[in-house]
Amino acid sequence: MKRLFATALMAAATMLSGPSMAQGSYPSKPITILVPAAAGGPSDTVARLVAEAMRVDLGQQVLIENVGGAGGSLGTGRVAKASPDGYTLLLYHIGVATFGPLYPDLSYKPGEDFDSVGLVTDVPMTLVGRKDLAPADVTALFTWLKGEGKGATFGTAGVGAVSDLCGRLLTDAAGIELTVVPYKGTGPAMNDLVGGQIDLMCDQTTNTANQIKAGEIKPYAVTTKERIAILPQVPTLAETAIKDFEISAWHAIWAPKGTPEAIRQKLSASLQKALKDPKVIERFAALGTAPVSADMATPAALDKRFQSELARWGKLLANASTK
Amino acid sequence: MELLSHLALGFETALTLQNVFWCFVGVLVGTLVGVLPGIGPTATIALLLPITFSFSPVTALIMLSGIYYGAQYGGSTTAILINLPGESSSAVTAIDGYQMARNGRAGPALATAALGSFFAGSVATLILAIAAPPLARVALNFGAAEYFSLLVLGLLVSISLAHGSVIKALAMIVLGLLLGTVGQDVTSGTARYTMGFQELYGGINFVSLAVGMFGVAEIFRNLEVETNREVGVSQVKNLWLTREDFRRIAGPVLRGTGLGSVLGILPGGGHVLASFASYSAEKRLSKKPQEFGRGAIEGVAGPESANNAAAQTSFIPLLTLGIPAHPVMALIIGAFILQGITPGPNVMTDQPALFWGIIASMWIGNLLLVVLNLPLIGLWVKMLTIPYRVLFPAIVIFASIGCYSIDSNPFDVYAIVVFGILGYVLIRLGCEPAPLLLGFVLGPLLEENLRRAMIISKGDPTVFLTRPLSASLLALGLACIVIALLPSIRRKRDEVFVEED
């Protein structure tokens, strides 16, 4: 109700001050960025930080609306069906590329119903184990997984979560077998990893960095191409056990299909500025990530990434469900 | 002695004018959102998170924590006054609290909730201060198998939630379990009973179910009786507890505090179990179990203490291990991170002023809540004298807005209508909604943990017996059944269920 009230207030304020200030040009009214996940989660935090910086640049309120449910596919559908005028946008992560194979009842096509604005951040992920797990490093881990550690337990935050996607990619790329143990969210899964109830997990560094630093869990590898600043001593999977392995919980902004190119370019330019904001950089760093470079925060770069991820997950998840 | 110096540091931090002020704002906002059904602490904390960017970390966290436990407090008010529980924990309070209000004892019911919560909050805060790290370690040993056994124990003792026929109570639990299976299965991701509605993938919204089954169904029933509010409620007797009341609530408050403190530490749903467990325990122990469900003050005192104690101790895994026990705690972790602090075992040593300041503020917050709420009782009770024809549309509107605000999803509002009608039909059939709610809340947890335990053990069912903690819990459950079947106790048990209306 507070949100409704706030929206109404802001709408009223715009009506009073609007016409003379923003005649004819976009944006002339508040923009809503929909986050299809609960308020306060990592995606929501990313959205709020970016929205605040974009507000300053665009000279209009940028509101965040949280529409949770069905792994994010519900809220995403709402943006797919919104009018393509640049006033309703979607900010979410890699999950959008997996909705097709995961949710057969989807009333829209993630691959076709959106136009790109740009990438926001690549959140690195870390492969971690309980602290008393035998293998000392990541090479030893994969040897172990192929031998006596076959079928080791691997916690995830539920089907379709980035931790689950990482596990599917690992089993596929390394030819190993894992016993996937799904949880409702990262918190309970981390609890069981720290408590030694499960063997492994692969989650966004946002969720693992604290426990790694405290020595509660054992870091094996990061999943990005290069090592990351907050965990410089941890090797990448690509440089050790699995050549070419790369997965990140990338976040991006989309607009409904048919949003004019000019508007998307304007948003992309604003996003690029927002990602250079020192406050955004600082807060992202606290989340264990960094903004993408300016050339990635563009429609073209997101188009490319999104299409390749759609293809990759379409194949992987189809295999998984027929297994 | 070290504890004393820590607490001194904590109070020094928490008692600055600024921190006391924001603590007060937090508990006030929390109480208000708790009173309005549906608008829960999760949404509120998320909305206020950006405001706290400019605060110092300790002030921000003091306020956000205040919202959380303040909401636990406020939730009981609507549950008692208009049978509208906004959260699973206050659903139990509604059972006897609302009956007390119907008997004209809304004042004592509210006072009991306030005093019980204060006592439980104070004790749990002390536990948090003294024993947080070792307790967190114990909770880590609590895996899926232990959780499953605990839930079995919970269900075994909980049939006593119903007053009336055992068969009907069992039927309601089963119906609740079935409703709980709606949505995407956690283990395989398969959609169950969603009937093509994408909105049902995340399961049925708890608030829709509770508001419909309790609140709206009750409105239908009241409207059927009279357009006036039913007799009795407008004649409010006394606002305060009698000496006899104090005597009756002492035990339940103590036991509720103990149960809540222990269960609150458990990850993933312990705080939900707390109030259910306390209610069952009180009904078991009572010499007059037939009063339960008809306005027994013990049925308010126990669960209210339990849920507030659990609210405090659920901070233990967060503050000592950096692990959120439930969604609100995950949000508070977000607040830590945005402030540049990594929650975890290091907070206590690196940021003692922050750690002990938050703990001290919890005690201050609980005190503020009592000061805030006791004078409000008179005001709340006056609300009952509002003509029903004015009151019920307001209740429906607020409940709908609250429900909608959770996910901005109209589907959740339609669900209230469906469950309102279902709830009304069940009342007419003489079935209680409380066991249904219990099944709905515990069922999915039971299934999830059973399957998780079996996955981890690679399909070996003996895991429930070979893990000592799990085995003890199951043994306790077995003992409960045996005791219930012993002849001498059986007579008493029959009395419990004889009171068919």
Instruction: State residue B123's pLDDT score.
Output: 92
When pLDDT is cut at 50, 70 and 90, the band that residue B231 belongs to is very low
Q: Do A2-14+29-122+248-322 and A124-222 have matching folds?
A: yes
Q: Which two tokens stand for residue B387?
A: 């003509």
**Cβ distance of A153 and B189 shorter than 8 Å:** no
Instruction: State residue A67's pLDDT score.
Output: 79
Query: How many beta-carbon contacts under 8 Å exist across A and B?
Result: 174
Measuring CA to CA, which residue among B447, B379, B485, B457 is closest to residue B186? Answer: B447
B457 within 8 A of B144, measured Cβ to Cβ: no
The yes-or-no verdict on residue B55 having pLDDT over 70 is: yes
Cα separation, A86 vs A59, in Å, equals: 15
Question: Which residues, in sequence order, are CB contacts of B142 under 8 Å at separation 6+?
Answer: A195, B266, B267, B469
* Chain B residues close to A4, C-beta within 8 Å: 401, 405
- Can you tell me whether residue B381 is helix, strand or coil? helix
**Cβ distance of A2 and B194 shorter than 8 Å:** no
Q: B467 to chain A nearest CA, in Å? A: 12
B376-435: per-residue pLDDT in tens?
887 777 777 777 777 788 778 877 877 777 667 788 889 989 999 999 999 888 887 877
**Cβ distance of B143 and A195 shorter than 8 Å:** yes
Q: Write out B310-378 in H/E/C secondary structure.
A: HHHHCHHHHHHHCCCCCHHHHHHHHHHHHCCCCCCCHHHHHCHHHHHHHHHHHHHHHHHHHHHHHHHHH
**Cβ distance of B268 and A210 shorter than 8 Å:** no
Looking at CATH, the fold of the domain delimited by A124-222 is given as D-Maltodextrin-Binding Protein; domain 2 (3.40.190)
Q: B330 to chain A nearest CA, in Å? A: 7
Could you list the beta-strand ranges (E) of chain A. Answer: 31-35, 62-66, 88-93, 114-130, 152-156, 178-182, 200-204, 217-222, 248-256
B340 → chain A, closest CA residue: A286
Instruction: State residue B226's pLDDT score.
Output: 60
Cα separation, B477 vs B149, in Å, equals: 8
**What's the sign of the alpha-carbon dihedral A141, A145, A149, A153?**
positive
Measuring CA to CA, which residue among B316, B313, B319 is closest to residue B336? Answer: B319
Q: Indicate the pairing of strand A88-93 with strand A248-256.
A: antiparallel
Average pLDDT of span A179-203: 88
Residue B409 at interface with chain A, using a CB cutoff of 8 Å: yes
Instruction: Give the number of other CB atoms < 10 A from CB of residue A318.
Output: 12
Most A CBs within 10 Å: which of B198, B271, B446, as the mutation test of the A interface? Answer: B198
When pLDDT is cut at 50, 70 and 90, the band that residue A176 belongs to is very high
Residue B144 at interface with chain A, using a CB cutoff of 8 Å: yes
Query: Closest to A40 (Cβ–Cβ): which among B49, B191, B448?
Result: B49
**Cβ distance of A151 and B458 shorter than 8 Å:** yes
Q: Indicate the pairing of strand A152-156 with strand A31-35.
A: unpaired
The yes-or-no verdict on residue B77 having pLDDT over 70 is: yes
Strand partners, A160: none
* Chain B residues close to A214, C-beta within 8 Å: 322, 344-346
Average pLDDT of span B141-167: 74
Between B487-498 and B468-485, two packed helices, what is the crossing angle to 10 degrees? 80
Residue B459 at interface with chain A, using a CB cutoff of 8 Å: no
Average pLDDT of span B12-33: 90
Measuring CA to CA, which residue among B241, B34, B143, B95 is closest to residue A195? Answer: B143
A117 within 8 A of A73, measured Cβ to Cβ: no
Query: Closest to B405 (Cβ–Cβ): which among A1, A48, A213?
Result: A1
Q: B442 to chain A nearest CA, in Å? A: 14
Residue B45 at interface with chain A, using a CB cutoff of 8 Å: yes
Most B CBs within 10 Å: which of A46, A65, A184, as the mutation test of the B interface? Answer: A184
**Cβ distance of B321 and A283 shorter than 8 Å:** no
Could you list the beta-strand ranges (E) of B170-272. Answer: 183-184, 191-192
B397 → chain A, closest CA residue: A1
Kindly compute the dihedral angle of the four CA atoms of residues B397, B398, B404, B408, in this order, to the nearest 10 degrees: 110
Q: What is chain B's mean pLDDT, rounded?
A: 80
Average pLDDT of span B468-489: 75
Most A CBs within 10 Å: which of B45, B400, B452, as the mutation test of the A interface? Answer: B452
**What's the sign of the alpha-carbon dihedral B344, B346, B347, B349?**
positive
Average pLDDT of span B304-324: 83
Measuring CA to CA, which residue among A266, A39, A204 is closest to residue B48? Answer: A39
Give the CB-side neighbour count of residue B47, counting CA atoms within 13 A.
21
Cα separation, B348 vs B321, in Å, equals: 10
Average pLDDT of span A188-198: 88
Q: Which of residues 246-305 of B touch A (CB under 8 A)?
A: 267-268
Domain positions in chain A are 2-14+29-122+248-322, 124-222
* Chain A residues close to B329, C-beta within 8 Å: 187
Query: Closest to B346 (Cβ–Cβ): which among A65, A181, A214?
Result: A214
**Cβ distance of B198 and A153 shorter than 8 Å:** no
Q: Indicate the pairing of strand A88-93 with strand A62-66.
A: unpaired
A76 → chain B, closest CA residue: B198
A48 → chain B, closest CA residue: B50
Q: B250 to chain A nearest CA, in Å? A: 35
Report the range of poorest mean pLDDT among A40-49, A129-138, A205-214, B322-331.
B322-331
| Residue-wise DSSP of B78-103 | HHHHHS--SSHHHHHHHHHHHHHHHT
% of chain B at pLDDT higher than 90: 13
Report the range of poorest mean pLDDT among A62-66, A127-131, B66-70, B493-497.
B493-497
Residue B49 at interface with chain A, using a CB cutoff of 8 Å: yes
Q: Which two tokens stand for residue A4?
A: 């409704």
Query: Closest to B334 (Cβ–Cβ): which among A45, A102, A103?
Result: A45
A104-119: per-residue pLDDT in tens?
778 888 888 999 999 9
Q: B60 to chain A nearest CA, in Å? A: 14
Strand partners, A35: A66
Q: Which two tokens stand for residue A108?
A: 């829209």
Instruction: State residue A319's pLDDT score.
Output: 62
CATH code of the domain made up of A2-14+29-122+248-322: 3.40.190.150
Strand partners, A62: A31
Domain positions in chain B are 2-498
Strand partners, A203: A126
Instruction: State residue B233's pLDDT score.
Output: 52
Report the range of poorest mean pLDDT among A155-164, B179-188, B294-303, B449-458.
B179-188
Q: Which two tokens stand for residue A90?
A: 């979607």
* Chain A residues close to B144, C-beta within 8 Å: 192, 197
**Cβ distance of B408 and A67 shorter than 8 Å:** yes
* Chain B residues close to A45, C-beta within 8 Å: 334, 337-338
B405 → chain A, closest CA residue: A1
Residue B338 at interface with chain A, using a CB cutoff of 8 Å: yes
* Chain A residues close to B36, C-beta within 8 Å: 1
Could you list the beta-strand ranges (E) of B111-194. Answer: 183-184, 191-192
**Cβ distance of A71 and B201 shorter than 8 Å:** yes
> In Å, how far from its chain's centre is CA B67?
15
Instruction: State residue B90's pLDDT score.
Output: 79
B294 within 8 A of B301, measured Cβ to Cβ: no
Measuring CA to CA, which residue among A3, A317, A318 is closest to residue A161? Answer: A317
Amino acid symbol at B34: G
A157 → chain B, closest CA residue: B186
Q: Indicate the pairing of strand A152-156 with strand A178-182.
A: parallel
Report the range of poorest mean pLDDT among B1-10, B234-243, B352-361, B438-447.
B234-243
Helices and strands (DSSP H and E) totals, chain B: 23, 2
**Cβ distance of A213 and B202 shorter than 8 Å:** no
Measuring CA to CA, which residue among A249, A292, A259, A247 is closest to residue A50? Answer: A292
Cα separation, B483 vs A58, in Å, equals: 70
**Higher pLDDT residue, B85 or A273?**
A273
Q: Which two tokens stand for residue B237?
A: 């007797």
Average pLDDT of span A221-249: 90
Q: A262 to chain B nearest CA, in Å? A: 30
B321 → chain A, closest CA residue: A211
Most confident range (mean pLDDT) of A294-308, B94-108, B210-224, B336-350 is A294-308
H or E element in which residue B405 lies:
helix B388-407
A243 within 8 A of A156, measured Cβ to Cβ: no
A69-101: per-residue pLDDT in tens?
677 888 898 899 888 999 999 999 999 999 888
Q: A65 to chain B nearest CA, in Å? A: 8
A289-316: per-residue pLDDT in tens?
889 988 889 999 999 999 999 998 888 8
What ipTM was reported for this prediction? 0.73
* Chain B residues close to A194, C-beta within 8 Å: 140, 321, 323
Cα separation, B357 vs B341, in Å, equals: 15
Residue B166 at interface with chain A, using a CB cutoff of 8 Å: no
The yes-or-no verdict on residue A22 having pLDDT over 50 is: no
B345 → chain A, closest CA residue: A214
Residue B196 at interface with chain A, using a CB cutoff of 8 Å: yes
The whole-model pTM stands at: 0.76
